[in-house]
Structure 1
Amino acid sequence: MSEITVTRSVQKRKDLQGIRGLAILSVLAFHFYPRNFPNGYLGVDQFFVLSGFLQCMLLSKNFEKPLLSILANFYARRLKRILPLYILMILLILVALHTVFPTSSIVQNEASATKALLFVSNRQHTDEENYFEKLNMAIDLFTHTWSLSVEVQFYAIVPVIFLIGSAMKGEWRIGFYGCLCAISSIYHFSSSPDFAFNSTLARIWQFLIGMITYFQFVSGSNNDGYSPIVTIEDGGEIRDEAVKNVPTSLENFTKYFFLAPMVCIAFCPIELSPNCLRPIFTVFTGIIMFLSIDDKVLGHKFLTYLGDISYSLYLVHWPIVAYAKMMYEDNEYAHAACLFLSILLAVIIYETFEKWYLTSQNAHCAIVTTILIVFCVLLIYRSKIDDAEIETIENVTVATEVGKQVGNHRSYAKLDGVTDGMTLFDAQKRNMYWSMYDIYIDEMNEPGCVRDFPHPWCYYTPDYAFMLTRHIAVSEPLDTPGVVHNDTKYQEMVTRLKRMLPNIKKKLFIMDSFPRVDENKVNWIVPDLRSGKSMEEISFGLYERDDGYEIGRMRHAALVEECGPKCELIDILTLLRNSTTGQLQYFDNRGLSYFTSRNHLSAHGVELVRPLFSDICDKL
């Protein structure tokens, strides 16, 4: 480019690293303490602006070279920066998934890992994936990779945008980028919030703000006390050759006039509208990048080092957040310890692997990255390989043959594939299989069953309805101990029942309350049996004894009494009670669990309750 010349002295842009440091701090605050810092997600918007600045800088550096050289250098530099650590973190998360996290998380996260490897984590979820999110039991360990997907997808179009803009001069160039910025921002704010959040096209305007900032920075350097400059990327840091004069009081005031409200908003405990904050944050970030050269606050060692480790910290922190939420919920001390662990791991990764590959030859990075990808693929498909082995074991294959018509009834094959000769080893594989695949198990879905109706169920006014959902709120404490009919939640149950009954012609069946299984202990049934623990001892700790199911049963009993003959309870508690010991037992004497680690009935549990439901259906 004619405005850009190369000189020899190189100075690190510490202020930009400081902006990165503030951005990652706000993201960490939002993920670890979302109630206290609900606006911290805006740090990702700052990353997009910084990325636009950096991409424009790299393309400008090689502008005088042939087109293929420009593209080759750009993609080689960006992929070398992103891929090795990104793929390593995917591999480490997959290892943790199979060793630390519950089995119920595996299937969802294997699919998410595949999307992360392909940089499509930002695509909209299917109904089935959204269902998993509603279950809120299997946390997606790759959620945070959506922003990397947006950035890498932008790499595909940024050279075209840059080359068209570079063919223009001065105000025409800024006008071109400004028009694209306006179109993308209109698209962003006219789209649904979820789509706008994840769409690359709806995020282009933020990258363009960074590009406009770079061009203004370059053009201003010749008119505002700068020597001719060129900026380069060095180990993930942004360096330039500009040597600015000492800033005036007015310049300092202007700079902090924009910086101070950004910091206050990012760490404000009150949630504010993203439609207002996002454009403010994006534009203010560009302005600060333009004004903050040699700034002592943003160039402070603490902030710049946070900026240095920001990439490692961003990639490593989310799986730790997920683990903290799953294991410790609202324990602030545990979350603080996990935050410290995230920073410690990020420092170790940055000082070892990240620094090493950034200074290595491209060929070495390519070899390491390829090896890491191979291991990721093997881990992703590990469970599928194991499941294929299960299906080939004699007498363990899940029965899938079509049932036969017998009189007015249809006989169905057993869903669980359980046989009399099964060992504890077989039981362990079955339990893990049921927990891993849960609603994904094809054998649990009879061909022809309708999963989604085009209208609400009441539109069809069915003869019979079954309410099998176990509402946790039903088991919450009564307003007054022992008094049901004046209870607030009971009155809400009655109100909803009265809305439902006119839409049901004959009868409503309601699942009665029973203790929830401790989802973290389902896959320990067989190991505990092998270690010599008695069935009574295992059963005692397998379900949540204080989940208030007795109160739920009191409310249900009162509800059915008020409803009259049109309502009937379905009680599976008697099926779960050991007739000899009188104790609740959520597995059989072979170690086969009646529940998955998602608190659903397993295929074996469905077989347990099948006679009960068959009897109900026979009487209809």
Structure 2
Amino acid sequence: MTELPLKTVDFETISANSDGSVVIPEVAKHVTKQKRQDLQGIRGIAIISVLCFHFLPSEFPNGYLGVDQFFVLSGFLMCMLLRRSSTSLKSENFRSSVIPFAFDFYSRRLKRIVPLYLLIILISVLALFYIFPDTAYETNISSGKRALVFMSNRATTQEEDYFSMLAIAVDIFTHTWSLSVEVQFYLIIPILFIIGFKTLSDEFQVHFYVLLSAISLVYSYCFCTETQAFNSVFARVWQFNIGIILYLLTESKKLSTDEYISLIESENSPTYKKTIKYILLISIIWIVSYPVAWPSAILRPIVTVSTGILMFLSENDGILSSHTLTYVGDVSYSLYLIHWPLYAYWKLVLSDGSICNTYLLLVLLISILAAVLSYECYEKWYLKLSNKSLMILCGILLVLNAGTLFKDKLNFDSLSQNSTRLDGIINGKVSFELAEKLNHDWSINDFKNLNVPSCDYETENGPLGWCRHKELNGKYKLMLIGNSWAANHGRIIYEECRNRSKSILQGSSQGCDPLYNSPEATHCTGTVAKYRKGVVNEKPDFLFITTKLFNSVGDPMPTGVTQLKDDPIYRAMKRHTDILAENVKYKLFLLKPLPHIDGEKVKDIVGMVKRREDLKEFDKVLIKRSSDLARRRYEQLFKNCKKCVSIDYMPLLWNSSTDYWRLYDENNSGLTYITSPNHLSPHGLELVRNIYTEICRTL
């Protein structure tokens, strides 16, 4: 064997491949494996962990830690790129050197991330328009806009919580939160790097990043809630810094070629290093695959630090550098972006309420195949483009994304800006085509329509909370409470009662009945007490309670109970109703429950009416949950409550010829009375308007 000349490795010459792996050009001509394939292997383990967590969360509850591993790997790569670009900072004209330094860093990172990211967002939005259920539209358009500008790492809005609780929407962009954190870190790391590079020696730069990590860690654990710590880039700085510190420690070795070769040849590696390396590797795999969830506050630092140490010891490791594992690492970026929208579609359309079925396996296989095609055909292609061509590509994708995400604003139309009806219909009949569009629009804009323009909301939570109506000129104090149906009815009650009211207080909550706390609805704990306190403090002249049927007041009676007087649900409802009635001066109006529909069937209504198919059978399929028992409980309440007055929509929604519910307007092209999220549509609200006109007239 020819003796190699002794030569010191300058780690400032390390470069990055397009796939994020590491090349050491000074020794590349002497070493068979030029890239840090082991890092790709760790990346492969990380993406497998994330996939297991997303597809089988109950079996792999700790798989989310794969994202923490990604952050450490990203920190390593960022520091490598910054060190490579730092030669320009050594010039005497520091100010003029900063711009080339920053441009070189950002162009390299954004070139890797943005083209695929924008393409996946565009495809996801198009799928949202044409493939996903209507109920997924509203929350995902909002999240898509945030994802487009890398702002997905914020707390879940009440709107998203509400739709998720109903299991009618899944955020198809939720996985972009980690990329948002990473890109936001890109904004601050060059500044931190310049401070360390220009003011500190190489030895003290490590101490500098250790100090920053300590500050970030204290901030995360002492000053953030769990949600804030999860989403905040400042609470994640310490994880990126683990990778940065690792790179600086590796660079500081300045190994000779002979020393380098002796280190990477596994058979000559010190035994204790091998032992530590494999203990760490096995421990990480064991933690992320353990079927019992452990506190993230404990696991996150353990896995983060362990990953950093493993990266330090694993160079050219045979297992981590295996072809299969490194290829998984190569396709990990495509796989990460692609898998979640496909999983979301399975969750909404194909899961049928199950946590695992054959379709889930099919979706996983499609995700892997699509990721491989994306990597081989798209990623490799655009990474070879010039910066100019890449900017053109990204510009086109950005414009297309903006056009699709903001198309509602760009193509806003209304039946009539002058219409006084909530549904905008002024000429009575509409075409089948328009009816189909309206049914679609009412469903996808359902949550927005819960906002009442006349209400001053107490918090930023919007319609699901407390608000007071303004511009009133009557003499009575009114109060409206309920689940989201209170917000759903807020505008029509305001419009019909404003001239009879001096005050209207409105309170609504997400899926929580004001008369009964269901033990299964843990998010509703305390709701009944909250409404009771509100009524006691307000002491209204008239109280309206409007609720949508959930699995609470419609639940079956316990085994062995046959009489309503012995039914624990009814007894709880009566007890709370009596307390409310005592604090109402005149009357308490209660809306009798309506059946719960299958929201997915709303899109089929117009077609059924147009084709004159068997509507009786369709009506039965449309209804997912009967309201019979819930209505019986309410009827019993009215018998035992002198102040209680029944509001019943059944006469308006009952088809006498079929002796069954008909929840759409068959005489007007199938305009729906109920939206996919199970609220009254604007057309439905207009149907019941006269009920409130008469009630308010007689107050």
Per the TM superposition, whether the score is higher than 0.5 is yes
- Relative to structure 1, the CA distance from residue 497 to residue 61 in structure 2 (aligned partners, 3 Å threshold; closer, same or farther) is same
Take 2:146 and 2:53, find their aligned partners in 1: how far apart are those partners? 24
Look up the SS of the partner of 2:379 in the other structure: helix
- Relative to structure 1, the CA distance from residue 568 to residue 261 in structure 2 (aligned partners, 3 Å threshold; closer, same or farther) is farther
Contact 1:139/1:322, CA 8 A, preserved across alignment: yes
Q: In structure 2, which of residues 227, 234, 247 is the aligned counterpart of residue 201 of structure 1?
A: 234
- Relative to structure 1, the CA distance from residue 224 to residue 495 in structure 2 (aligned partners, 3 Å threshold; closer, same or farther) is farther
- For 2:110, the equivalent position in structure 1 comes to 79
- For 1:453, the equivalent position in structure 2 comes to 466
Contact 2:598/2:622, CA 8 A, preserved across alignment: yes
| Amino acid in structure 1 at the alignment position of 2:652 | L
Indicate yes or no: 2:326 matched with 1:304.
Answer: yes
Give the CA deviation at 1:126.
5.0
Take 1:592 and 1:491, find their aligned partners in 2: how far apart are those partners? 38
Contact 2:264/2:316, CA 8 A, preserved across alignment: no
Query: In the comparison of the two structures, how many residue pairs are matched?
Result: 587
Indicate yes or no: 2:354 matched with 1:353.
Answer: no
Give runs of aligned pairs for residues 305-454 of structure 1, distance below 5 A. 305-327=327-349, 328=351, 329-333=353-357, 334-388=359-413, 391=414, 396-397=415-416, 399=418, 413-418=420-425, 419-441=427-449, 445-448=452-455, 451=463, 452-453=465-466
Look up the SS of the partner of 2:282 in the other structure: helix
Give the CA deviation at 1:429.
2.0
Query: Which stretch shows the higher mean deviation, 282-291 or 418-427?
Result: 418-427
Q: In structure 2, which of residues 311, 318, 341 is the aligned counterpart of residue 289 of structure 1?
A: 311
- For 1:58, the equivalent position in structure 2 comes to 81
- For 2:122, the equivalent position in structure 1 comes to 91
Give runs of aligned pairs for residues 228-267 of structure 1, distance below 5 A. 246-267=268-289
Give the CA deviation at 1:90.
0.4
- Relative to structure 1, the CA distance from residue 351 to residue 493 in structure 2 (aligned partners, 3 Å threshold; closer, same or farther) is farther
| Amino acid in structure 2 at the alignment position of 1:265 | I
Take 1:224 and 1:144, find their aligned partners in 2: how far apart are those partners? 42
| Amino acid in structure 2 at the alignment position of 1:123 | R
Give the CA deviation at 1:132.
4.7
Contact 2:382/2:390, CA 8 A, preserved across alignment: yes
- Relative to structure 1, the CA distance from residue 423 to residue 3 in structure 2 (aligned partners, 3 Å threshold; closer, same or farther) is closer
- For 1:237, the equivalent position in structure 2 comes to none
Give runs of aligned pairs for residues 413-562 of structure 1, distance below 5 A. 413-418=420-425, 419-441=427-449, 445-448=452-455, 451=463, 452-453=465-466, 457-458=534-535, 459-470=537-548, 471-480=550-559, 482-494=562-574, 496-497=576-577, 500-544=580-624, 547-561=625-639
Give runs of aligned pairs for residues 10-21 of structure 1, distance below 5 A. 11-21=34-44
Take 1:580 and 1:386, find their aligned partners in 2: how far apart are those partners? 42
Indicate yes or no: 2:166 matched with 1:158.
Answer: no
| Amino acid in structure 1 at the alignment position of 2:428 | D
Give the CA deviation at 1:134.
4.8
Take 2:367 and 2:576, find their aligned partners in 1: how far apart are those partners? 46
Using the aligned pairs only, state the percent identity: 40
Look up the SS of the partner of 1:40 in the other structure: coil
Q: In structure 2, which of residues 650, 654, 658 is the aligned counterpart of residue 581 of structure 1?
A: 658
Take 1:220 and 1:212, find their aligned partners in 2: how far apart are those partners? 13
Contact 2:133/2:348, CA 8 A, preserved across alignment: no
Structure 2: stretches of 5+ with no match in the other structure? 1-8, 14-24, 90-96, 458-462, 468-506, 508-529
Deviations 1:515-541 (A, max 9, x none): 212111112212333344244344333
- For 1:280, the equivalent position in structure 2 comes to 302
Give runs of aligned pairs for residues 157-196 of structure 1, distance below 5 A. 157-167=188-198, 168-189=200-221, 190-196=223-229
- Relative to structure 1, the CA distance from residue 133 to residue 465 in structure 2 (aligned partners, 3 Å threshold; closer, same or farther) is farther
| Amino acid in structure 1 at the alignment position of 2:594 | F
| Amino acid in structure 1 at the alignment position of 2:409 | K
Contact 1:217/1:290, CA 8 A, preserved across alignment: yes
Deviations 1:53-94 (A, max 9, x none): 000011112322353332222111111100110000001001
Take 2:579 and 2:321, find their aligned partners in 1: how far apart are those partners? 63
Deviations 1:264-316 (A, max 9, x none): 22122212111111111211111111111122222233322221111111111
Contact 2:38/2:321, CA 8 A, preserved across alignment: yes
Look up the SS of the partner of 1:557 in the other structure: helix
Deviations 1:575-594 (A, max 9, x none): 21123332311111211110
Look up the SS of the partner of 2:260 in the other structure: coil
Structure number with greater CO (CA < 8 Å, separation at least 6) is: 1
Q: In structure 2, which of residues 43, 46, 58 is the aligned counterpart of residue 35 of structure 1?
A: 58
| Amino acid in structure 2 at the alignment position of 1:530 | K
| Amino acid in structure 2 at the alignment position of 1:196 | A
| Amino acid in structure 2 at the alignment position of 1:397 | S
| Amino acid in structure 1 at the alignment position of 2:690 | P
Indicate yes or no: 2:26 matched with 1:7.
Answer: yes
Give the CA deviation at 1:375.
1.4
Look up the SS of the partner of 1:473 in the other structure: coil
| Amino acid in structure 2 at the alignment position of 1:280 | I
- For 1:232, the equivalent position in structure 2 comes to none
Deviations 1:329-381 (A, max 9, x none): 31512222222221121122112111211223222222222111121122113
Take 2:305 and 2:124, find their aligned partners in 1: how far apart are those partners? 35
Give runs of aligned pairs for residues 100-115 of structure 1, distance below 5 A. 100-115=131-146
Contact 2:266/2:317, CA 8 A, preserved across alignment: no
Take 1:79 and 1:220, find their aligned partners in 2: how far apart are those partners? 30
Contact 1:225/1:244, CA 8 A, preserved across alignment: no
Query: Which stretch shows the higher mean deviation, 530-539 or 38-47?
Result: 530-539
Give the CA deviation at 1:170.
4.3
Q: In structure 2, which of residues 149, 152, 163 is the aligned counterpart of residue 121 of structure 1?
A: 152
- For 2:522, the equivalent position in structure 1 comes to none
Take 2:11 and 2:147, find their aligned partners in 1: how far apart are those partners? 39
Contact 2:167/2:348, CA 8 A, preserved across alignment: no
- Relative to structure 1, the CA distance from residue 55 to residue 554 in structure 2 (aligned partners, 3 Å threshold; closer, same or farther) is same
Take 1:502 and 1:212, find their aligned partners in 2: how far apart are those partners? 67
Indicate yes or no: 2:671 matched with 1:599.
Answer: no
Contact 1:476/1:548, CA 8 A, preserved across alignment: no
Look up the SS of the partner of 2:430 in the other structure: coil
Look up the SS of the partner of 1:298 in the other structure: coil
| Amino acid in structure 1 at the alignment position of 2:65 | L
Give the CA deviation at 1:244.
7.0
Give the CA deviation at 1:473.
2.3
Give the CA deviation at 1:127.
4.8
Give the CA deviation at 1:8.
4.8
Give the CA deviation at 1:148.
0.8
Look up the SS of the partner of 1:466 in the other structure: strand
Contact 1:84/1:357, CA 8 A, preserved across alignment: yes
Deviations 1:393-422 (A, max 9, x none): xxx31545xxxxxxxxxxxx3211223242
Take 2:673 and 2:320, find their aligned partners in 1: how far apart are those partners? 57
Take 2:381 and 2:571, find their aligned partners in 1: how far apart are those partners? 65
- Relative to structure 1, the CA distance from residue 210 to residue 16 in structure 2 (aligned partners, 3 Å threshold; closer, same or farther) is same
Look up the SS of the partner of 2:655 in the other structure: coil
- Relative to structure 1, the CA distance from residue 49 to residue 518 in structure 2 (aligned partners, 3 Å threshold; closer, same or farther) is same
| Amino acid in structure 1 at the alignment position of 2:447 | I
The CA RMSD measured in Å over matched residues stands at 2.8
